Amino acid sequence: MINISQSFLKEFAKYKLGETCGLQVKAKYVDGVQFPSSDAMDLGNYFEYQATGCLPRSGNVPEPKMVYKGTARESLATDYQRANESALFFKKIVKEYDIELLELGKVVTHDGMTGIMDIVAKWNNRICIIDTKFSGLIDDKWSEFGWNLDALPEKHGLMIQGVHYRILLAKELEVEPEDIDFYYFVFSTKNPLDVKIIQQLSDETTFSNHLASIEWVKNDLKKPIDKIFKAKPTLMRCNECPLKDDCKSKVELPTIDQVTY
């Protein structure tokens, strides 16, 4: 039985569209394989730890990247210094806005759904969830990970998190999702003072559609595992895959595509 997280939901949808490999999805979410983190993920984990004290899922304390190591000039790398400054600014925002932090890294599992919430807080006499982001794309309109405000309503990969978490916490607290607020606190990796606080507003239809998606995935997961997660190899995908050394489905040459004209 797989408890469906918002990240699994996104990966499963990408897999169904042929945008990722089923063997990777299975490794991550069924077999519990820990994939190597990217530099951006390491930086984000470090920022979150400095801001809130939350450890990443690995349980290891994030270490900053240093420059000129072992010399008299040894110091924090610029991005990590900015992460420290952003973390201090986060704490100032929490204090000035009188946000009461109730729980950090809260894990909630209900009805086959699961999620790890950065912060559950009380703000303006309402329970809310705060998710912190440390992004180099704070104003980007075109990237799927960009935080341009005008484009956000179409970026389902980003917005699904707020819907999923509000439903989960509502189930635990036995209230309606509308009774819980959700905020993204997005900090720029380039400028510690460049920050967006985004409250995500969602209606009953959005919550219903999300639950329908969850049920669709649950039904698909009733099939035998080998019928669900299949290899979808491509040359670039296989070359970058951490599983490639032991994968019998990998390709090492470009496949031949056919086009009728």
> pLDDT tens digits, residue range 6-54?
999 999 999 999 999 999 999 999 998 988 888 999 999 999 999 998 8
Residue whose pair of structure tokens reads 């978490």 in the numeric block: 165
Short-list 15, 21, 10, CA closest to 235: 21
Average pLDDT over residues 244-256: 92
> pLDDT tens digits, residue range 84-120?
999 999 999 999 999 999 999 999 999 999 999 999 9
Q: In angstroms, rounded to a whole number, what is the distance separating the alpha carbons of residues 175 and 13? A: 28
Tokens of 156: 């389902």
Beta-ladder partners of 134: 187
Mean pLDDT of the chain: 94
Average pLDDT over residues 49-78: 88
- Does 58 have pLDDT greater than 80? no
Which helix (H) or strand (E) segment holds residue 16: the answer is helix 6-16
- Which residues have a Cβ under 8 Å from the Cβ of 25 and sit 6 or more positions away? 8, 11, 12, 15, 229
What local confidence, expressed as pLDDT, does residue 59 receive? 79
Whole-structure pTM over 0.95, yes or no?
A: no
Q: Left (φ > 0), alpha (ψ -120 to 50) or beta: where does 174 sit?
A: left
Q: In angstroms, rounded to a whole number, what is the distance separating the alpha carbons of residues 61 and 238? A: 31
Short-list 192, 168, 172, CA closest to 182: 168
- Does 148 have pLDDT greater than 90? yes
| pLDDT classification of 68: cutoffs 50, 70, 90 | confident
| pLDDT classification of 212: cutoffs 50, 70, 90 | very high
What local confidence, expressed as pLDDT, does residue 55 receive? 83
